[in-house]
Amino acid sequence: MWRRLRIAVLLLVLASVAFSAWHAKANATAWKGTLRVAVYPLAADDSAATRRYLQRLGEDSFQPISDYLNSEAARHGVTTQRPVDITLGGEIRQLPPPRPQGGSVLDSILWSLQLRYWAWQHSPPTSPKPQVRLYLIYHDPALTPRVPHSSGLEKGMLGVVHLFADPRQTAQNHVVAAHELLHTLGASDKYDMATGLPLHPDGYAAPFQEPRYPQSEAELMAGRLPLGPDRARIPDSLDETLVGPASAREIGWRR
Ligand SMILES: [Zn+2]
């Protein structure tokens, strides 16, 4: 009897968590009001360069990302005044649980639950309350020339984004952060997982231009700018990217 009751309560809790996650996402991607995004910086190491970079971050450091998304939303027909707003939250001192490398599906599910629990514990109050939370982990490139993979989770609408604490990388950091932000809203990757090359046509900014190569812009969710059938490069800044129609549909900008 008690056992059955406990299981029923547990199922009820899980169902309510799932429902509230679904509801939050449906609400965010209806684009009826401004989507509130909070970014929380974290230092991956104790290098002086990373500390300096974090100290220089201000509210306007992330304006290029919101300006870009707002103009892309308008281009896709969103009529909300300011669809995306990004607020800088306080620095967080404890790193999130690391993503398992090459683990099983169960490992990833467990990690995503751990991460949601960690985020729940590490959401310093910002006003207004954010719908999407991005944890920006900054690495000194002299210590970490290759940063771990970033993740944007649709369930819970949160992202862990690995970036470089170097002013010369700021514009490229914006590309990575915007890409993960769209993941939290339901956009999928548009590149070949094996080769990293953009998938045609959805991963191309101008899929039907003649000749097809080189492209002059990258599709944000493809992550790379195609230069030839087997060559692509990382865009230097958001100016070299756009949100294609397939990604726009996934996040509710197009019906
Ligand atoms: Zn991605």
Q: Which residues surround ligand 1, an ion (CB under 5 A)?
A: 189
Task: Give the C-alpha separation, 95 to 73, whole Å.
Answer: 32
Task: Give the C-alpha separation, 157 to 155, whole Å.
Answer: 5
Residue 221 Cα to ligand 1 midpoint, Å, equals: 6
Residue 206 Cα to ligand 1 midpoint, Å, equals: 20
Q: Of the given ranges (12-16, 46-50, 168-172, 201-205), which has the lowest mean pLDDT?
A: 12-16
Residue 1 Cα to ligand 1 midpoint, Å, equals: 46
Residue 127 has pLDDT above 80, yes or no: no
Residue 73: pLDDT band by 50, 70, 90 thresholds?
A: very high
Q: Please give the pLDDT value at position 210.
A: 96
C-alpha distance across the termini of the chain, in Å? 48
127-137 mean pLDDT:
93
Residue 180 Cα to ligand 1 midpoint, Å, equals: 6
Residue 228: pLDDT band by 50, 70, 90 thresholds?
A: very high
Residue 223 Cα to ligand 1 midpoint, Å, equals: 7
Residue 220 Cα to ligand 1 midpoint, Å, equals: 9
Residue 151 Cα to ligand 1 midpoint, Å, equals: 7
**For all residues of the chain together, what is the average pLDDT?**
94
Token digits of residue 96 = 């999130």
Q: What angle do CA 88, 89, 90 make, to 5 degrees?
A: 125
Residue 120 Cα to ligand 1 midpoint, Å, equals: 23
Residue 191 Cα to ligand 1 midpoint, Å, equals: 9
Give Cα 193 to chain centroid, integer Å. Answer: 18
pLDDT per position as a tens digit, 95-113: 999 988 877 888 988 999 8
Residue 170 Cα to ligand 1 midpoint, Å, equals: 18
pLDDT per position as a tens digit, 137-189: 999 999 999 999 999 999 889 999 999 999 999 999 999 999 999 999 999 99
Residue 161 Cα to ligand 1 midpoint, Å, equals: 10
In terms of Cα–Cα distance, which of 13, 35, 39 is closest to 177?
39
Residue 115 Cα to ligand 1 midpoint, Å, equals: 17
Residue 244 Cα to ligand 1 midpoint, Å, equals: 14
Domain limits, the chain: 31-180, 187-255
Residue 22 has pLDDT above 90, yes or no: no
Task: Give the C-alpha separation, 226 to 199, whole Å.
Answer: 10
Residue 42 Cα to ligand 1 midpoint, Å, equals: 20
In single-letter form, the type of residue at position 62 comes to F
Q: How many CB atoms lie within 10 A of CB 52?
A: 13
Q: Please give the pLDDT value at position 58.
A: 96
Task: Give the C-alpha separation, 61 to 180, whole Å.
Answer: 17
Residue 93: pLDDT band by 50, 70, 90 thresholds?
A: very high
Residue 177 Cα to ligand 1 midpoint, Å, equals: 10
- Strand order across the beta sheet in which 151-153 lies: 84-88, 35-43, 132-139, 158-164, 151-153
Residue 245 has pLDDT above 90, yes or no: yes
84-95 mean pLDDT:
95
